[in-house]
């Protein structure tokens, strides 16, 4: 819309979009309002829209993640989880905690340590996605309550994974942020149900998904009116063959600058699942921040030998302190350099409406 | 259990398993009853079970798909969908129909043609898994009803995909078989909800899943008491790089003899999605049957230019006739040869209890 | 060229191509002569060529394997190795023998058995490509001589792998066919050196190569004037991850109909290396022939426990007999059906000049 | 050997190794001499060696890259190219220059700019590995001479790729370092021929090779007595499928800490080929250094529109200046932190003899 467009002008455009059986996504900036079309845009007459009062221009966005593209929203989006800000030029945000919630005591003990280490958001799994029907499946609702109580008692926001459409409401009730795991990246019904809760969403990339495919599914969150979206790289399938891969997954750091260039949403990295190896978490954390990641998600356990899942990739709390320290230093070094993060990503992209 | 074990002996074993917080899966053969343990078997004392009256032997199955392994069930399982038998030495079963159900008329028209071509089960999608939120998502419940009515009117059993946990009951109500698609292979809650409906399940392999991983998720169906399971190879992710893959997926026919060797459940192939190319469906159908597939699932549309999805991989009904004819011929040629299908799979495997 | 073009007309076109610093490939058919350009065709003026006497038309072939494309040569090419014919509608050709040549005695003993089983060409490795510098590297020249003598003594043509540019002449001197292995698919200097020997070339697909990339390297053989080329699918890299692949490689049978459609050269399959598992060779051999393969290459050893390499994928001679029998039966069944092999590949392709 | 072992003691061990038909690799440190066995160690009696005078202990190294493992050589190796030191705690080394050498003038012009930017070693391709026989194949010997002369005139060491065994001597004559490209990682004869020249080797990882496979081939260089080895990560095959990968290859930074942990040899990264995208080179360079890379190899062209190959991934010289600056800053930041590079890699590894 033109900067001079009235509220009535905007309403008229929305009406026309709805009349075609489509939905409208309205972004109101300080100077300008931009309206995105949700659905099959072939159903609408672009010339007719262009002729309406107050319309500045009508553009067809070529990428399949229309509402998430830099062409639609040019400025970096900062997502708030509790009072923590993720994205833009903010310092790296650290999400840490155990793989599985095992009890209030275990959760409190670890949470206290990670908070002292400088961690911003507490993670813990209540509904665990598991390969085998024969192993520990998580504490479910009880786990959520423990996480919620520990978060409240220590004053730290929380995030937990939502696995089933039936759990969406409960996770949204007890947590500050909903995580959708890599295995559910293609689960469009779960994605939409989670988005509708209105809470921030941590949406992990599937381990065999291309960036464009990943963003097409993330688009479902935004198309359901939820822009509190944090993207997360967590490793892609390695090649197999005669030799075994040294890492469980290949953490794909190329994804960081690509995602930052393609969309304005914050991007974090999970080096714990992304490598599956405790001894690689420190170097890959440094590497992630240097690539431009807005934060890290790290599995921490103070008694790994007692952990009910993923023990061999859980870091000790004291190592988390080191990661947080070096992450901040690298972030500052780059931010103060001649080529800060924004310098990488503008190259070749046209970010204006 | 020993052949002489009484019903009471069996009950006692089951009681002990339940007392450990586990579930029991009971297979009663003509000569022998076999009891499988569902859950973490470390919780139970094997020596104690072994000492019970009527117990013949206690074995730990090493593979993660315990209830599906040939060590647990040695003979081929034949799954019935309506009056169609899939598996064992039965002739190849053909499942065909359009990608999406678009109307009763479209469905009836195509169903009539595929039935005349010799097709055994009718397929059609009501809840379509789609990458983009901006494209056609399927007719939903109306589509299911059309499929159901066409199936009834033409006397042919039907299968349709279930995508959301919320749809499971409806699909089970209107269809003879529930399909779980490749993108939902890791969706454990959906798998369990579908299994509990008790209807036959067509369970597709995820496109980046190893065989062992695939069977570990299939195990959830059997662990929920549903042995009407049909496995389906539908192509795995190709490598990318500077050159584009000639096929959308790599149909992995190695999977056929491997799956037949590892489990007694029937295995079919979907060459339509597995290649994404109409011109490869005939050769890959032949190749699938020669590898030992128990059937084929093929997308057919009589007016591909009008199809609302996947038009470029839909075969014409007249080509389906040819596939059915050559599939039968190849199946017979091999069945009557010196090395029939069973000859491939015994090599090196020990299938006895 | 026009059917009426004279030899002089053809010479004039060749002269013009050479004047531009390019090479000319001349295909003289019964009715028509076709001239291909080897090199960067931007250097030449197509209009000028078109204006020459006797020129019928000038076409730019879009694929990077210009001289191998069906647009350039439409009819199937049959390659002769000794008096064995591979390709077109010929019966499946079987190449078999041990992985490594170990002695004249070992080679003679196995060769006799595979010949009796119905094998057409004898294989054996003298220069073994090996991952580890610490293991057996092959007998070298002595091995070649053993293979040559056994071939002569039993009257069966031979093939052996050429690994180094320095060995090319020796392998060409002692064998009827030169094999270029998967690991050397990108070794352009070796490919060209081998091609120049003028003997038939068995050129294996690299295990991470796309079809188009594979054919671009095969094009180097043809561009060096050698059209005695046999393509060979031998498995591509499987995905890795938490679960180990059941097969060492993924034998990619989709490649068979794709290669047959794209080029007129014969295509064979190596199920021994392609799966790495003895128990999959029979079903995958059947599956290959049903997909349209012109032949099979199979590792056979009569005393696998004594083999110096690849023992666990070597088949017993008696199983080879079974494969040859069923391969012929499947080939005949399809050849006599309503959709013979040629029927698969015409669909959608335009094969005329 | 014991610290007190005499030269004669060492000789006796070597004699025994040679008597078994194997080769000995001798590493003499300040305090201790270590002797490695090249070849199949099953041929030798370990107990017999252990009983010799001066022998401290006999260990079997489990990994296939015995002579390159940290168990064999625990301290970091620094490789000298001219007077440039790569490895250990040295500052990041930058190798830069154009993809192809096109003329003395082009080479000199670019070399001058990259040297001014702070680049340490000059690169340029004379023998280009090319997919298509129809495109520019490099200047060959003339190119090598241009590179040599420019290096001499500007006082900067040079590196160029060796593609054919026949070119090895020439490249070694004119360059300070020989590069073996990704496509030749499996070319064992080329590797050995290059190693024998005695000059430093830049050995790139193949794009579908696992780390263990890569090191097994690198082992051939060391087994031929050449320890002037620099490893190089340059991207692995991305997955394909319906969506195109955003990068030509997936630069695998996980490889950096893994390689540094497994071997003492220096590791550099080539973000130009590894991503294939100019706009990703700056962030991925930062990311590589933060992961622990000892250097970077970057394609630079001052007139990309005129480049004869790989124009779209060549960086401008002014951007190289920025990369060198930020690389040093990140390297210093980490080196001075509480967890310097060595801290990452000791975890869980036992590096002592």
In angstroms, the CA D294 to CA D85 distance is 10
Residues B236 and B302 in one domain: yes
Question: Is D65 part of a structural domain of the chain?
Answer: no
- What CA–CA distance (Å, rounded) separates A71 from A63? 10
| pLDDT value of position B183 | 95
SS3 B245: coil
CA D25 to chain centre: 20
On whether both D165 and D314 belong to a single domain, the answer is yes
- In-domain check, residue D71: no
> Average pLDDT for residues B208-217, to the nearest whole number?
95
Give, as one character, the DSSP assignment of residue D313: G
In a domain, C66, yes or no: no
3-state class (DSSP) for residue D157: coil
B37 & B87 share domain? no
D150 neighbors D132 (Cβ within 8 angstroms): no
Q: How many CB pairs under 8 A join A and B?
A: 87
Neighbours of C8 (CB within 10 A): 9
How many angstroms separate the CA atoms of B298 and D37, rounded? Answer: 58
Does the distance separating the beta carbons of C239 and A238 come in below 8 Å?
yes
Predicted local distance difference test score (pLDDT) of residue C116: 97
- CA neighbours within 13 Å on the CB side: how many for C228? 17
Q: Looking at B159-168, C341-350, D302-311, which range is the least confident one?
A: C341-350
According to DSSP, residue B44 is labeled S
Q: Do residues B58 and B35 lie in contact, with contact meaning Cβ atoms separated by under 8 Å?
A: no
For residues D99 and D25, membership in a common domain is answered with no
- Of all residues in chain B, the one with the smallest CA distance to A220 is B133
DSSP structure string for D41-94: GGGS-HHHHHTSTT--------SS-GGGSTTT--SPP-EEETTEEESTTPPPEE
Rounded to two decimals, the pTM is 0.92
CATH code, B14: 3.30.70.1140
What pLDDT sits at residue B312?
76
Q: What is the pLDDT of residue A342?
A: 64
Closest residue in C to B284 (Cα) is C291
Chain D 223-262, CB below 8 Å of chain B: which residues? Answer: 237-242, 244-245, 248-249
What backbone phi and psi angles, to 5 degrees, belong to D100?
Answer: -110, 140
Residue C242 corresponds to which tokens in the numbers above? 């938490």
The kind and range of the H/E element at C47 are helix C46-50
Report pLDDT for D342: 64
Q: Which of A210-219, A282-291, C57-66, D212-221 has the lowest mean pLDDT?
A: C57-66
Q: B286: which residues sit within 8 A by CB, 6+ positions away?
A: B323, B326, B327, B330, C290, C291, C334
Q: C104 to chain B, minimum CA–CA distance in Å?
A: 31
Which among D241, D284, D326 has CB closest to A339? Answer: D326
Cα–Cα separations (whole angstroms), residue C276 to A58, A242, C246:
57, 9, 10
Burial label, B16 (beta-carbon count in 10 A; 0-12, 13-18, 19+):
middle
CA dihedral B299, B302, B307, B312 (to 10 degrees): 60
Share of chain C above pLDDT 70, in %: 96
Q: Say if residues B59 and B49 touch (Cβ distance below 8 Å).
A: no
C148-157 confidence digits (pLDDT tens):
999 999 999 9
The CA-atom distances, in angstroms, between A279 and each of A275, A282, D256 are 9, 7, 12
Residues facing residue B86 across a β-bridge = B79
Q: What is the mean pLDDT of residues D167-193?
A: 96
- Answer whether C92's CB lies under 8 Å from C295's CB: yes
- B342: pLDDT confidence band, cut at 50, 70 and 90? low
> CA of B185: how far to CAs of B71, B258, D217, D238, in Å?
24, 19, 38, 22
What pLDDT, on the 0 to 100 scale, is given for residue A348? 36
Per-residue pLDDT averaged across B304-320, rounded? 82
The pLDDT assigned to D349 comes to 33
Contact A283 D344 (CB under 8 A): yes
Report the pLDDT value the prediction gives residue A130, as an integer from 0 to 100: 83
In terms of DSSP H, where are the helices of chain D? 7-19, 46-50, 104-117, 141-154, 168-174, 188-196, 211-223, 255-262, 271-275, 281-291, 317-335, 341-346
Query: Does D60 or A182 have the greater pLDDT score?
Result: A182
Q: Indicate yes or no: CB of D134 within 8 angstroms of CB of C39.
A: yes
As beta bridge partners, residue D315 has: D300
Considering the domain architecture, whether residues D120 and D265 belong to the same structural domain is answered as yes
Please compute the mean of the pLDDT values over residues D107-121 and round it to a whole number.
97
C184 touches D: beta carbon within 8 Å: yes
C121 occurs within a structural domain:
yes
Name the token pair of A6.
């009235």
Rounded Cα distance between D244 and D159, Å, is 33
* Highest-scoring range by mean pLDDT, C139-143, C337-341, D20-24, D265-269: D265-269
Among residues B279, B284, B247, B249, the alpha carbon closest in space to that of B269 is found at: B284
Looking at the structure, do residues A252 and A114 belong to the same domain, yes or no? yes
Query: Are the C-beta atoms of C104 and C299 separated by less than 8 Å?
Result: no
DSSP code, position B99: S
Could you tell me where the beta strands, DSSP code E, fall in C214-330? 229-233, 267-269, 295-299
Q: Does residue C132 belong to the interface with chain A, where contact is any CB pair within 8 Å?
A: no
Q: What is the mean pLDDT of chain C?
A: 91
C160 with C288, same domain? yes
Which residue(s) pair with B85 in the sheet?
A: B80
Say which range, B5-9, C38-42, C115-119, C197-201, has the weakest mean pLDDT.
C38-42
DSSP secondary-structure letter at A230?
E
d(CA D85, CA D79) in angstroms, rounded, equals 6
Distance from CA of B114 to the nearest CA of C (A): 18
Residue range A311-329, pLDDT digits in tens: 778 899 999 999 999 999 9
The whole-number average pLDDT for the span D71-79 is 93
Cα separation, A300 vs A304, in Å, equals 8
> Residue A64: left (phi > 0), alpha (psi -120 to 50), or beta?
alpha
Cα separation, A229 vs A222, in Å, equals 8
Q: Render pLDDT for B83-109 as a digit per residue (tens, 0 to 9).
A: 999 999 999 999 999 999 999 999 999
Look at residue D1 and tell me if it is in a domain: no
Q: Is D181 on the interface with A (CB under 8 A)?
A: no
Higher pLDDT, D155 or A243: D155
Mutate to test the interface with D, among C42, C130, C137, C188 (most CBs of D within 10 A): C188
Q: Please say if the pLDDT value at position B345 is more than 60.
A: no
Average pLDDT (D21-46) is 86
Whole-angstrom CA distances from C243 to A31, A226, A245, B100 are 53, 36, 11, 34
CB burial of residue D138 (10 Å; 0-12, 13-18, 19+): buried
| Distance (Å, whole) CA A81 – CA A199 | 9
Give mean pLDDT, residues C126-143: 86
Interface ipTM > 0.95: no
**pLDDT under 70 in chain A at which residues?**
342-353
Cβ–Cβ below 8 Å for D292 and A283: yes
Write out the residue range of the structural domain in which residue A42 sits: 7-60
Domain assignment present for A2: no
Q: What is the mean pLDDT of residues B340-344?
A: 68
Going by C-alpha positions, the residue among C136, A348, A167, C341 that lies closest to residue D279 is: A348
HSE, side-chain direction, 13 A CA sphere, residue C285: 33
Chains that touch D (3 or more CB pairs under 8 A): A, B, C
DSSP H/E element including B123: strand B121-123
Asked if B65 and B220 touch (Cβ cutoff 8 Å), the reply is no
Q: Is the same domain home to A142 and A21?
A: no
Do D11 and D103 reside in the same domain of the chain?
Answer: no
Q: At D269, is the pLDDT very low, low, confident or very high (cuts 50, 70, 90)?
A: very high
| Confidence check: pLDDT of C350 > 60 | no
C328 occurs within a structural domain: yes
Q: How far is A205 from chain D (nearest CA, A)?
A: 14
D211 touches chain A (CB under 8 A): yes
With a cut of 60, say whether residue D121 has pLDDT above it. yes
For an interface test with D, the pick among A233, A238, A291 (most D C-beta atoms closer than 10 Å) comes out as A291
Structural domain count, chain A = 2
Total length of chain B = 353
Confidence of residue C133 (pLDDT cuts 50, 70, 90): confident
Q: Which of C132-141, D4-13, D103-112, D281-290 has the lowest mean pLDDT?
A: C132-141
Residue-wise pLDDT for C227-250, tens only, equals: 999 999 999 999 887 788 899 999
In a domain, D312, yes or no: yes
Number of residues written out for chain D: 353
Residue D92 sits in the same domain as residue D223: yes
Distance CA D282, CA D158 (A): 23
pLDDT of residue D45: 87
As a whole-number percent, the residues of chain A with pLDDT over 90 amount to 74
Residue B31 has a pLDDT of: 77
Would you give the DSSP letter of residue A350? -
**Average pLDDT of span B234-240:** 92
Q: Are residues D227 and D96 in the same domain?
A: yes
Best mutation target among A212, A234, A253 (most D Cβ atoms within 10 Å) is A253
Q: How far apart are CA A112 and CA A118, in angstroms?
A: 10
Looking up residue B249, the CATH number of its domain turns out to be 3.20.20.70
What's the rounded Cα separation, in Å, for the pair B205 and B14? 32
Under 8 Å between Cβ of B158 and B111: no
Of D240, D242, D187, D241, residue with least CA distance to D209: D187
Whether the Cβ atoms of residue D190 and residue D161 lie closer than 8 Å to each other: no
Cβ-proximal residues to C152 (8 Å cutoff; 6+ apart), any chain: none
**Range C8-15 average pLDDT:** 93
Here the tokens at position D3 are 């610290």
Give the pLDDT of residue A344. 60
- Which among B132, B187, B237 has the least Cβ separation from residue A208? B237
For A243, the closest of D212, D250, D256 (CB atoms) is D212
Under the banding of pLDDT at 50, 70 and 90, the label for residue D352 is: very low
Are D239 and B131 an interchain contact pair (Cβ–Cβ within 8 Å)? Answer: no
**Same domain (yes/no): A173, A247:** yes
Strands C121-123 and A177-180: unpaired
pLDDT at residue B216 tops 70? yes
Res B343 pLDDT > 90: no
């Amino acid at each position: 819309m033109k900067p001079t467009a009235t509220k009535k002008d905007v309403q008229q455009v929305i009406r026309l979009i709805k009349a075609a059986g489509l939905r409208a996504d309205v972004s109101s900036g300080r100077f300008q309002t931009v309206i995105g079309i949700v659905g099959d845009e072939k159903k609408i007459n672009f010339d007719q829209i262009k002729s309406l009062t107050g319309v500045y221009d009508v553009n067809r966005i070529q990428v399949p993640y229309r509402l998430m593209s830099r062409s639609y929203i040019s400025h970096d989006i900062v997502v708030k989880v509790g009072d923590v800000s993720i994205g833009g030029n903010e310092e790296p945000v650290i999400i840490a905690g155990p793989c599985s919630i095992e009890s209030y005591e275990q959760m409190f003990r670890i949470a206290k340590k990670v908070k002292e280490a400088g961690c911003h958001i507490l993670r813990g799994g209540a509904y665990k996605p598991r390969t085998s029907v024969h192993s520990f499946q998580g504490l479910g609702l009880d786990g959520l309550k423990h996480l919620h109580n520990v978060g409240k008692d220590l004053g730290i926001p929380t995030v937990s994974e939502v696995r089933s459409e039936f759990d969406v409401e409960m996770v949204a009730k007890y947590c500050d942020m909903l995580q959708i795991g890599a295995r559910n990246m293609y689960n469009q019904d779960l994605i939409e149900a989670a988005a509708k809760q209105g809470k921030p969403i941590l949406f992990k990339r599937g381990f065999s998904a291309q960036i464009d495919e990943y963003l097409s599914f993330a688009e479902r969150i935004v198309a359901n009116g939820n822009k509190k979206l944090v993207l997360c790289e967590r490793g892609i399938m390695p090649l197999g063959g005669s030799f075994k891969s040294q890492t469980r997954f290949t953490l794909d750091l190329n994804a960081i600058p690509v995602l930052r260039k393609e969309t304005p949403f914050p991007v974090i990295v999970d080096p714990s699942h992304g490598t599956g190896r405790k001894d690689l978490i420190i170097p890959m954390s440094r590497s992630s921040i240097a690539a431009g990641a807005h934060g890290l998600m790290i599995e921490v356990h103070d008694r790994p030998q007692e952990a009910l899942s993923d023990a061999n990739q859980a870091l000790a709390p004291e190592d988390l302190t080191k990661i947080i320290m070096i992450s901040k230093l690298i972030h500052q070094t780059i931010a103060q350099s001649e080529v800060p993060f924004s310098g990488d990503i503008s190259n070749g992209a046209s970010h204006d409406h």
